[in-house]
């Protein structure tokens, strides 16, 4: 309707001077006319210029007085010309509000004497307020002082009217062309494609929301880290064993049985099944010895090692338990074939019975990398840490001596975070001790360098989470799972 009227009018006329007049002349809704003008302007069918008009419109109170007369005029007319009227009777006659406004204005205009008996002071009055309101209602020009007075009484308010003047645009046509959205098989076969104009691609158009599965931020970051490890030549370790024996989780790592981390306040022990079924007995014997009396140049911990303690089942407290199994298998392989260097990594859940807070839960995902080769040194560890963390965007590292029961030397890893403007602890690392490696049966000159960090910490920082419960657990907002952005790490 409006589109045909506008394009048809411009076919015979140079311009439409005022969209408001055009709409009323053609019996159209001006808002609809404005929307069509904006669309036609967007496709260059018309060239539109803004028209902005400030006008005044009556408030509801203003409309009432334009209809019934101002309160002061009504009050004057309610007073008998002779003798006047008692104040109370006049108030009842007009009603409290009209009486209150009318008295004030009539007294101000010196139309009445407001004693106990209200009397007229003049013979006749002109109701200018009503006349002015009627003029404004009809769109006539009114003196600024009068406007100011009516506005002060809240009888009129300003109104801005937005419209357009328009003329033919560079791509004007009496009818809107139908632009084809897609090139179809039929067009190609019939040859119609030669006469068809195609809609321009809107490269800023957002894609339709995909009602499909959405990856959790942790999975997105884990995938990126997995790619980084694979690019660095690492193989992924099998981490599908959450329940582990204390032997593989602690004893094989030369972690003494009195170590506080093995206390039930830090570790989840299982009731059923409470003990592991089988361990490699010859290896267990060597582990028992190295704990009790050392060997390989070590004096051990000189305590009575308990098999019962080693048999206890638990939820693994670190993925280093998996690393221990992998290194033991590697050592066993050297019985059949020569030792070959290996690079392993793992990213999976670990469980610790520790105090929970805003950034810690009783479980988290540990990321661990290790390199097993002859003659590795601390320098090799520092070098591979620079390579790894630089792929995470952390090129400024510092190392601080630390202690782990199963690595010596050990280092905490710090990175300078430009955003926070401070050094942030980003992981831990070290060289596995001979008391761990040699009972496995690895060759004497083989060294293992390893490091670890968590998956939640980088994910929280990258995705701006302040509370780990917004990222992991039953309170996670599934809407965020749908809308969280992609994660890009790695070279
Ligand atoms: O992840 C940690 N911090 C971190 C990592 C990345 C990161 O990226 C941001 C984008 C910039 C930010 C922060 N940390 C290790 C350090 C701290 O967060 C620490 O408070 C918490 N640690 C966890 C353990 O806490 C119970 C993080 C977790 C951790 C610590 C040590 C290891 C693994 C995970 C390890 C190890 C290890 C050592 C030697 C040999 C083999 C494994």
Cα-to-centroid distance, 385 and ligand 1 (Å) = 13
Closest ligand 1 atom to 392 CA: 10
Q: What is the pLDDT of residue 377?
A: 98
194: tokens are: 């030669």
pLDDT tens digit sequence for 160-185? 999 999 999 999 999 888 888 899 99
CATH number of the domain that 357 lies in? 3.30.930.10
CA 231 to chain centre: 30
Q: Is 21 inside a domain boundary? A: no
Ligand 1 atom 13: residue of nearest CA: 426
Side-chain half-sphere exposure of 326, counting CA atoms within 13 A? 23
Question: Residue 134's pLDDT is what?
Answer: 95
pLDDT tens-digit map of 4-40: 999 999 999 999 999 999 999 999 999 999 999 999 9
Mean pLDDT (the chain) is 94
Is residue 278 situated within a structural domain?
yes
For residue 236, the SS3 value is: strand
DSSP state of 140: -
- Considering only CA atoms, which residue is closest to atom 21 of ligand 1? 454
- Report how many domains make up the chain: 1
CA of 416 to the centre of ligand 1 (A): 15
Ligand 1 pocket (Cβ < 6 Å) reads: 320, 366, 368, 404, 407, 417, 424-430, 450-454, 457-458, 461-462
Tens digits of residue pLDDT in 380-391: 999 999 999 999
Task: Please report whether residue 282 resides in a domain.
Answer: yes
CA of 398 to the centre of ligand 1 (A): 14
What's the pLDDT tens digit per position in 228-276? 999 999 999 999 999 999 999 999 999 999 999 899 889 999 999 999 9
Confirm whether 49 is domain-assigned: no
CA distances in angstroms from 462 to 120, 365, 455, listed in the order given: 81, 16, 11
Residue 490 confidence (pLDDT) above 80: no
Q: Does the pLDDT at position 68 exceed 80?
A: yes
The pLDDT value given to residue 483? 86
* Helix (DSSP H) and strand (DSSP E) numbers for the chain: 19, 15
The stretch 389-400 carries a mean pLDDT of: 95
Residue nearest to atom 41 of ligand 1 (CA): 451
Say how far apart CA 438 and CA 258 lie, in whole Å: 22
For residue 141, is it within any domain? no
pLDDT per position as a tens digit, 300-322: 999 999 999 999 999 999 999 99
> Is residue 78 domain-resident?
no
| CA triple 156-160-165, angle to 5 deg | 140
Q: Does position 122 have pLDDT exceeding 80, yes or no?
A: yes
Residue 456: domain span = 219-483
Per-residue confidence (pLDDT) for residue 6, from 0 to 100: 96
Whether the per-residue pLDDT at 107 is higher than 70: the answer is yes
Mean per-residue pLDDT, 476-490? 87
| Rounded alpha-carbon distances, angstroms, from residue 47 to 16, 163, 167, 171 | 11, 13, 5, 10
Residue 338 lies in a domain: yes
- Does any domain span residue 134? no
Confidence label for 491 from pLDDT (cuts 50, 70 and 90): low
């Amino acid at each position: 309707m409006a589109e045909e009227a506008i394009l048809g009018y411009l076919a015979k006329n140079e311009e439409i001077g005022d969209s408001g007049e055009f709409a009323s002349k053609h019996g159209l809704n001006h808002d609809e006319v404005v929307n069509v003008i904006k669309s036609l302007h967007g496709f260059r069918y018309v060239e539109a210029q803004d028209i902005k008009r400030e006008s005044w419109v009556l408030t509801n109170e203003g409309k009432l007085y334009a209809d019934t007369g101002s309160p002061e005029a009504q009050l004057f007319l309610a007073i008998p010309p002779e003798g006047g009227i008692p104040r109370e009777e006049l108030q009842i006659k007009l009603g409290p509000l009209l009486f209150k406004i009318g008295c004030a204005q009539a007294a101000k205009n010196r139309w009445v004497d407001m004693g106990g008996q209200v009397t007229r002071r003049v013979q006749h009055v002109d109701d200018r307020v009503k006349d002015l309101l009627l003029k404004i209602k009809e769109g006539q020009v009114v003196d600024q002082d009068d406007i100011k007075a009516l506005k002060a009484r809240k009888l009129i308010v300003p109104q801005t009217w937005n419209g357009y003047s328009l003329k033919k645009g560079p791509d004007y046509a009496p009818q809107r062309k139908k632009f084809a959205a897609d090139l179809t098989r039929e067009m190609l076969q019939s040859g119609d494609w030669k006469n068809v104009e195609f809609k321009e691609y809107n490269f800023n158009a957002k894609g339709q929301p995909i009602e499909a599965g959405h990856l959790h931020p942790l999975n997105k970051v884990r995938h990126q880290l997995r790619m980084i490890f694979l690019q660095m030549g690492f193989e992924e370790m099998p981490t599908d064993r959450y329940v582990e024996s204390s032997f593989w989780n602690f004893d094989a790592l030369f972690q003494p049985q009195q170590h506080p981390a093995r206390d039930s306040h830090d570790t989840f022990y299982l009731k059923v099944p409470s003990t592991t079924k089988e361990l490699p007995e010859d290896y267990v014997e060597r582990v028992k010895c190295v704990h009790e009396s050392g060997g390989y140049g070590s004096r051990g911990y000189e305590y009575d090692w308990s098999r019962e303690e080693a048999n206890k089942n638990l939820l693994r407290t670190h993925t280093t338990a998996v690393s221990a199994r992998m290194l033991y298998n590697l050592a066993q392989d050297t019985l059949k074939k020569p030792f070959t260097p290996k690079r392993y990594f793992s990213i999976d859940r670990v469980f610790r019975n520790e105090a929970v807070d805003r950034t810690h839960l009783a479980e988290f995902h540990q990321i661990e990398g290790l390199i097993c080769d002859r003659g590795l040194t601390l320098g090799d560890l520092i070098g591979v840490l620079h390579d790894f963390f630089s792929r995470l965007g952390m090129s400024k590292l510092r190392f601080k001596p630390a202690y782990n029961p199963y690595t010596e030397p050990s280092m905490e890893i710090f990175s300078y975070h430009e955003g926070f403007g401070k050094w942030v602890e980003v992981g831990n690392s070290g060289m596995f001790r001979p008391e761990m490696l040699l009972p496995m049966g690895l060759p004497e000159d083989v060294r293992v360098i390893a490091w670890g960090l968590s998956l939640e910490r980088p994910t929280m920082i990258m995705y701006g989470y302040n509370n780990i419960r917004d990222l992991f657990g039953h309170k996670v907002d599934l809407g965020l799972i749908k809308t969280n952005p992609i994660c890009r790490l790695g070279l």
